[in-house]
Amino acid sequence: MTTVLVVDGANVVGARPDGWWKDRAGAARRLHESLLVADIAYDEVVLVLEGAAKGGVRAGRDGHVRTVHAPKDGDATIVAEARAAAQRGDRVVVVTADRMLQARAWGTGATTMSPTWLLDQL
């Protein structure tokens, strides 16, 4: 069974008060780079970016990390990615602290983890 980690990029970046709001694209790039080198037990990592953060990482695949640029709001894209992976029969984990998004992710069959959990893995 394939395991997929769907990352709410804005939520994870926002979990650390490190000045990310001054350079959203740079913060997204740093998160992407951390995901590329992280030793985590997932076959695929889907990093969903929205707004100005999209300027930091091109959409597409880099190794096991696939970056998706949300056309509108990130939440809808995160749910769509989780649903598509679950429909393929993959085990899906969504990383977000957004309670509404967590509930929507659970509706796809995904489990959820906190941004702090992911940051501890990186």
- Model pLDDT for residues 35-94, shown as the tens digit of each residue: 999 989 999 999 999 999 999 999 999 999 999 999 988 999 999 999 999 999 999 999
> For the chain, which residues make up each domain, given as ranges?
3-121
How many whole angstroms separate alpha carbon 46 and alpha carbon 81?
Answer: 8
- pTM score, two decimals? 0.95
Checking DSSP bridges between strand 111-113 and strand 91-95, what pairing results, if any?
parallel
- Helix or strand run (H / E) with residue 6: strand 3-8
Kindly state which CATH superfamily the domain 3-121 is placed in: 5'-nuclease (3.40.50.1010)
Backbone phi and psi for residue 47, each to the nearest 5 degrees, phi listed first? -100, 115
